[in-house]
Amino acid sequence: MRWSEWRQHSVRTGAIVGVLVLLVAVPAAVRAAEGHTDAPDYNADVRPILSSTCFKCHGPDDKARKGKLRLDVRDLATKPAKSGDIAIVPGNVAHSELIKRITSTDEDEVMPPPASQKTLSPPQKDILKRWIAAGAEYRPHWAFVPPVQAPLPVVAHAAWARTPIDHFVAAHFEAEGLEPSPPADRYTLIRRVSLDLIGLPPTPAEADDFVADTAPDAYEKLVDRLLAMPQYGERWARRWLDLARYSDTNGYEKDRPRSMWPYRDWVIGALNADLPFDRFTIDQIAGDLVPDATPQTIIATGFHRNTMLNEEGGIDPLEYRFYSLVDRVATTGKTWLGLTLQCTQCHTHKYDPITQREFYQLMAFYDNADEPTYLVKPADYGQREKEVEAKIKAIVAELPNRYTVSKPIEWTSPQSGTLITTSGETAEHLSDASWKLAGHSAAKDTYVVEFDVPLDDSDSLRLEAFPDQANPKGGPGRSTGGNFVINELHVAVVPAGSHEKPQAVRLAHAEADYSQDGWDVKGAIDGDPKTGWAVQGQSMDALRTATFTFAQPLHHPGGAHFVISLEQQFGDQHTLGHFRLSLGRRSHAGSDEALRSQQREQGFQSWLEREAAKSVHWTVLQPATAISVAPVLTVLDDHSVLASGDQTKSDTYTLTFTSLLEHITALRLEVIPDEHLPNRGPGRVYYEGAPGDFGLSELTAQADGTPLHFSKALESYANGGNHAANAIDGKTDTIWSIDGGQGRYHTAVFALDQPLGTVRTLSVAMLFERYFSAGLGRFRFSATSDAVPIGASELPPEIVDLLTIPAGQRTEEQRKRLYQEYLLVAPELAAAHAEIDALRASLRAFPTTLVMNERPAEHRRITHIHNRGEYLQPTDAVTADVLSVLNPLPATARHDRLGFAQWLVDRANPLTARVTVNRQWAALFGRGLVRTVDDFGYQGDAPSNQALLDWLAVEFINRGWSLKTLHREIVLSATYQQSSRASPEALAKDPGNLLLARGPRFRLEAELIRDSMLKDAGLLSTKLGGPSVYPPQPANVTTEGAYGKLDWHVSQGEDRYRRGLYTFSKRTAPYAMFSTFDGPSGEACIALREISNSPLQALTLLNDTVILEAAQALGSSIAAAPGSDEERAQALFRRCVTRPAQAAELVQLVHFVVEERARFQKHELDPAILAGSASGDAVERATWTALARVLLNIDEAITKG
């Protein structure tokens, strides 16, 4: 919009509200300039006094109220008290008790009382007197009255003004007798606006182009170009993430990582797309409830899932859920309303008209959400799913042909050969081709056996260790126990008759019919001389056989010469006494197909027999009721039960069943994976333990009220010793757990000690009791009246059903179905199963993020007021409602999060637009028009220029809540484009730059310092979004002293140089550089960061790895550039601070270069160390690196000026 349009627009919207502007607070000087009378203004002069001095005891909080007197409401302050006294008699100072009290000298009478340690100054008393004399007019607090646009003030600097903003600003500084500063020079301007809009400095070339562009709209074009860049979203997202308390870990003691970056990326995308701020708000608060909900709007609800999660063993999860809700209300207050709602958690606000009840009414909006983990499926998920399913189908179709055929091995034992030992001991070669050593064994020894075999090919080696009475205990070995150890076995081969050196043969597998505990035969081929094969056992006089398979079958037409070595490093005469070596090859007899078909059929038959023995007929039980105290149990169509909602450390699920078969002998509990559960379940463990696991402490049952007894429990899978039997042992501290089996289906069978008769009601109770929540997520019960099975099955229930049909009675269809199932579990098809699993896993390899999901209406949570804000002291129940001091919820509005979000961004809401534009102003000028960006209440600062704030707020709404339009409007103003240089006079008159007669100047945020330097150095990656990264920092930052240790594996490639907002954010040990420069920890909502200035910051910039790498990259680049020292120093200077160095500065830079270069040349310092690893002249690179390091450290490099 051009200037003339702006003007028309403003006049149009401003005309109707010209009168109202008089109501709002403006500094006395401005009011005077605008010709106001001398009566004190309630908002500007009176309320601040009453609020800070009187309201604490005579304000909104009825619990703290003294003498039943309330001064914040005119009707009550002017009402006679019981005593007849009237605090405020409008127009009558003498009869006003308030004035009597504040002027009293009696210690018992005077107000404020001495104990409060508050006093009123004479001018303050005077204001109150004059105010009462003039009629004691109360006016609504400025921030609670919706903003209106005032007409543009007529100003002397009309020619200076470029936009309406400038008129409002000029009106203020003119009133104080200040002149605007001259425009910033073009280099400063492009640097300023680039840092502001995209968070990165311009390159020297970009700056030159801008400086050279003399077109009148050059700056506007620049602004529009920057607004359109994807880096805009990154820069502004970081500020929003401060409010959202974004982090990549859960916080508190364990501080484990969480996946939340899809939310972060949503923010970046929304800002780049200029999603209108009202919609931006609605999606983040209620994106699951909007009628047009999409995965993107659901991801947006992560805003309030950024609260911390305490995973410390022993916490009460509902207590920390309550703290999250408290945080959500407080953060909403800070982010949208500019209200200190957190004050009302424990009591009615001491200053603002907000009650404690209202705090919990707001909490009720948020209370009714569940907090699931959302799977961020890609847009083409449906298509990909089809593709994967098609691929799986193809593999399944091929399964019969891929069945591994195991052909018998033919063994050949060479009759001739030699055996040499390292010890010199000799061996006897017996007629059965075995070797026998019966002399005195060395403590350690290696046998090398060489022989020829006449085979054309071979694929394995067999070692038979014979028991022999010549050895102790009649064993195969010669230790005192008859044992032996083969630490390593090597095989080498050459063609028969060749004189070449034998080539080593790689051994892929080793198997033995027996291995001693801890001495598995695999240890003989693992290259580790400490491990090996040994056979100590109950009986030593048994033949022990080991088979070693070659990685590749060998082809050696005409025979081969083998060299086999058997190493015994263990000691104590653990040598072999009697053994035979044979070479094997798979039989070539018979066709593969015939053999495969035969083996497959055999395998199928034996599987059928095995599984049928475990199978009985189960009848699925439909729960008549399914209840628990905290979790919501929902019975699904297949009669399984899905648990959702809250959990505690001790949850009991109670189910009753009424349609029952007779003579029940056992119950089956199926535990079923589900996408809605952590790690796909079947359990609900989400903190402290292993996600997706459960801990079933006890399972008890009653038949028509009579307790039942279980004789045994079997499970298809258990984690370690956590068997299903633990659930019927009467001990609550032992459990059935399936950790390691998450995402898979398991069952347990609970056998009754005697069959039941006819039962009307069976009730089953499951207790889940750990020191953390460990309930089941999805499960189903069945019963059988068959004989109790010998095992629990992981096969699908319909397969188990088929297996119970006697083999002769199965239809062909049923047989086929079983055959298909067999192919899906047969070990001979393991490779194909792995392919199918990998395909399924690839489909599920999408990121997750935390979101909100509204609970069903029938499971609404009841929200209570909590006495003193304490979790353990709930009092009255409340229903969701908004703050009475602000716009009411429309009659038609929904009383849920969506209704609440819509209320926040309703045009009638007096705060949201003001608070939002004020925060943008603060981002650009370093200070808000309301300095207290998070407090627009009575105790907050009055706006320094309310007419401007209100104009901007209304304009923001009128122009579709567009943040880009707002940012554009501000940076195009003359106000923004002023030079930031402050003369001593200007500094003295307006040290805080409240009047805006100069441009902004302040240090960059933590991330932007790093980003700028990486950009200067040409190292910065432009990759947008994705999982967080780990740029260099000392490894011990996240390990030393941190309870939730995180190994900081530095990212490689471009991820080493991503923008700061992608750096992994660990709450209890944040990235060191960012903390040093006031970066947030993610533990609380931050509306405006501190800007501190400390020696630790200097140390970081001087000595940190990241900065050094930037300096080295700059140094190498400048060293390789042509030109004189002046030219190169200039080029370097410009890359760091954009503007050209002045002649005097250049002299200093070159002097430094000449001096340091000389030191490097003389090798007073080793240039190679400082220069880093790039190629090129080390002295030059080191010299320019040193200068680059200086320039990255100067104030200008880290300041927006």
Q: Give the footprint of another protein on residues 329-388 (CB under 8 A).
A: 334, 340, 342-343, 350-352
- CA atoms of 1058 and 1051, how far apart (whole Å): 10
Residue 1084 within binding range of another protein, rule CB under 8 A? yes
> Looking only at residues 708 through 767 of this chain, which bind another protein when binding is defined by CB under 8 A?
722, 726, 733-735
> Looking only at residues 1168 through 1187 of this chain, which bind another protein when binding is defined by CB under 8 A?
1168-1171, 1177, 1179-1180, 1182, 1186
Rounded to a whole number of angstroms, the minimum distance from the CB of residue 269 to another protein is: 29
Residue 1093 within binding range of another protein, rule CB under 8 A? yes
Beta-carbon contacts of 1062 under 8 Å, excluding residues fewer than 6 positions away, are: 1025, 1026, 1028, 1029
Residue 476 in tokens: 């195969």
Dihedral sign for Cα atoms in the order 1097, 1102, 1106, 1111: positive
Alpha-carbon distances, residue 234 vs 200, 231, 265, 1022, 1066 (angstroms): 10, 5, 9, 10, 19
Rounded to a whole number of angstroms, the minimum distance from the CB of residue 233 to another protein is: 27
Rounded to a whole number of angstroms, the minimum distance from the CB of residue 61 to another protein is: 12
Question: What phi and psi, each to the nearest 5 degrees, are found at residue 866?
Answer: -115, 120
Q: Given candidates 809, 1095, 1162, 1173, which one binds another protein under the rule CB under 8 A?
A: 1095
Q: Given candidates 313, 590, 890, 992, which one binds another protein under the rule CB under 8 A?
A: 313
- Three-class secondary structure of residue 20 per DSSP: helix
> Looking only at residues 402 through 461 of this chain, which bind another protein when binding is defined by CB under 8 A?
none
> Looking only at residues 95 through 124 of this chain, which bind another protein when binding is defined by CB under 8 A?
117
Choose between 403 and 1133: whose C-beta lies nearer to another protein: 1133
> Looking only at residues 993 through 1022 of this chain, which bind another protein when binding is defined by CB under 8 A?
1001-1003
Residue 1151 within binding range of another protein, rule CB under 8 A? yes
Rounded to a whole number of angstroms, the minimum distance from the CB of residue 664 to another protein is: 30
Q: Are strands 632-635 and 435-436 parallel, antiparallel or unpaired?
A: unpaired
Residue 1090 within binding range of another protein, rule CB under 8 A? yes
- Name the β-bridge partners of 257: 249
Choose between 28 and 1165: whose C-beta lies nearer to another protein: 1165
Separation of CA 198 from chain center: 25
What interhelical angle do 963-971 and 912-925 show, nearest 10?
40
Q: Given candidates 45, 934, 969, 1005, which one binds another protein under the rule CB under 8 A?
A: 934
Choose between 25 and 184: whose C-beta lies nearer to another protein: 184
Choose between 202 and 1201: whose C-beta lies nearer to another protein: 1201
Rounded to a whole number of angstroms, the minimum distance from the CB of residue 1179 to another protein is: 8
Q: Given candidates 4, 591, 1144, 1175, which one binds another protein under the rule CB under 8 A?
A: 1144
Point out which span in 492-500, 815-823, 1017-1025, 1038-1046 binds another protein (CB under 8 A): 1038-1046
Closest to 570 (Cα-Cα) out of 441, 464, 467: 441
> Looking only at residues 629 through 648 of this chain, which bind another protein when binding is defined by CB under 8 A?
none
Choose between 733 and 786: whose C-beta lies nearer to another protein: 733
Q: Could you tell me if 1181 and 1109 are in contact, meaning their C-beta atoms sit under 8 angstroms apart? A: no
Rounded to a whole number of angstroms, the minimum distance from the CB of residue 304 to another protein is: 16
Q: How many Cβ atoms from other residues are within 10 Å of residue 407's Cβ?
A: 14
Point out which span in 206-214, 265-273, 622-630, 1065-1073 binds another protein (CB under 8 A): 1065-1073
> Looking only at residues 263 through 292 of this chain, which bind another protein when binding is defined by CB under 8 A?
none
Q: Given candidates 11, 15, 94, 1102, which one binds another protein under the rule CB under 8 A?
A: 1102
Q: Could you tell me if 1182 and 1189 are in contact, meaning their C-beta atoms sit under 8 angstroms apart? A: no
- CA atoms of 427 and 946, how far apart (whole Å): 105
Residue 978 within binding range of another protein, rule CB under 8 A? no
Choose between 573 and 1076: whose C-beta lies nearer to another protein: 1076
Rounded to a whole number of angstroms, the minimum distance from the CB of residue 1094 to another protein is: 5
Residue 255 within binding range of another protein, rule CB under 8 A? yes
Tell me the H-state helices in 786-878: 797-803, 812-825, 830-843
Residue 1036 within binding range of another protein, rule CB under 8 A? yes
Residue 337 in tokens: 């309303």
Residue 1069 within binding range of another protein, rule CB under 8 A? yes
Choose between 644 and 916: whose C-beta lies nearer to another protein: 916
Residue 251 within binding range of another protein, rule CB under 8 A? yes
Q: Given candidates 987, 992, 1050, 1054, which one binds another protein under the rule CB under 8 A?
A: 987
Residue 1076 within binding range of another protein, rule CB under 8 A? yes
Rounded to a whole number of angstroms, the minimum distance from the CB of residue 1099 to another protein is: 4
Point out which span in 157-165, 623-631, 977-985, 1053-1061 binds another protein (CB under 8 A): 977-985
Q: Given candidates 512, 966, 1156, 1200, which one binds another protein under the rule CB under 8 A?
A: 1156
Residue 253 within binding range of another protein, rule CB under 8 A? yes
Q: Could you tell me if 368 and 860 are in contact, meaning their C-beta atoms sit under 8 angstroms apart? A: yes
Which residue has tokens 């005192």? 480
Choose between 672 and 1087: whose C-beta lies nearer to another protein: 1087
- Cα angle: 255, vertex 257, 258; to 5 degrees: 115
> Looking only at residues 765 through 794 of this chain, which bind another protein when binding is defined by CB under 8 A?
771
Beta-carbon contacts of 1199 under 8 Å, excluding residues fewer than 6 positions away, are: 1001, 1002, 1003, 1004
Q: Given candidates 980, 1012, 1065, 1117, which one binds another protein under the rule CB under 8 A?
A: 980
Q: Write the DSSP string, 605-674.
A: HHHHHHHHHH----EEPPEEEEE-SSSEEEE-TTS-EEEES---SEEEEEEEE-S--SS--EEEEEE---
Residue 690 in tokens: 């292993």
Q: Given candidates 348, 1100, 1116, 1138, which one binds another protein under the rule CB under 8 A?
A: 1100
Rounded to a whole number of angstroms, the minimum distance from the CB of residue 1144 to another protein is: 7
Q: Given candidates 800, 1108, 1114, 1132, which one binds another protein under the rule CB under 8 A?
A: 1108
Residue 1098 within binding range of another protein, rule CB under 8 A? yes
Which residue has tokens 């929540």? 773
Q: Given candidates 225, 981, 989, 1023, which one binds another protein under the rule CB under 8 A?
A: 981
Residue 66 within binding range of another protein, rule CB under 8 A? no
Residue 137 within binding range of another protein, rule CB under 8 A? no
Residue 2 in tokens: 């051009």
Residue 1159 within binding range of another protein, rule CB under 8 A? yes
Q: Binding-site residue total for another protein (CB under 8 A)? A: 114
Beta-carbon contacts of 447 under 8 Å, excluding residues fewer than 6 positions away, are: 419, 420, 421, 427, 435, 437, 565, 566, 575, 576
Q: Are strands 698-703 and 706-707 parallel, antiparallel or unpaired?
A: antiparallel
The greatest distance separating any two alpha carbons of the chain, rounded to the nearest whole angstrom, comes to 133
End-to-end CA distance of the chain: 28
Closest to 225 (Cα-Cα) out of 1023, 1199, 895, 968: 968
Q: Given candidates 383, 753, 983, 1121, which one binds another protein under the rule CB under 8 A?
A: 983
Residue 315 within binding range of another protein, rule CB under 8 A? yes
Beta-carbon contacts of 239 under 8 Å, excluding residues fewer than 6 positions away, are: 919, 923
Residue 315 in tokens: 């916490």
Point out which span in 215-223, 266-274, 410-418, 1153-1161 binds another protein (CB under 8 A): 1153-1161
Cis check: omega of the bond before 146, within 30 degrees of 0: no
Rounded to a whole number of angstroms, the minimum distance from the CB of residue 339 to another protein is: 8
Question: What phi and psi, each to the nearest 5 degrees, are found at residue 450?
Answer: -125, 140
Residue 1154 within binding range of another protein, rule CB under 8 A? yes
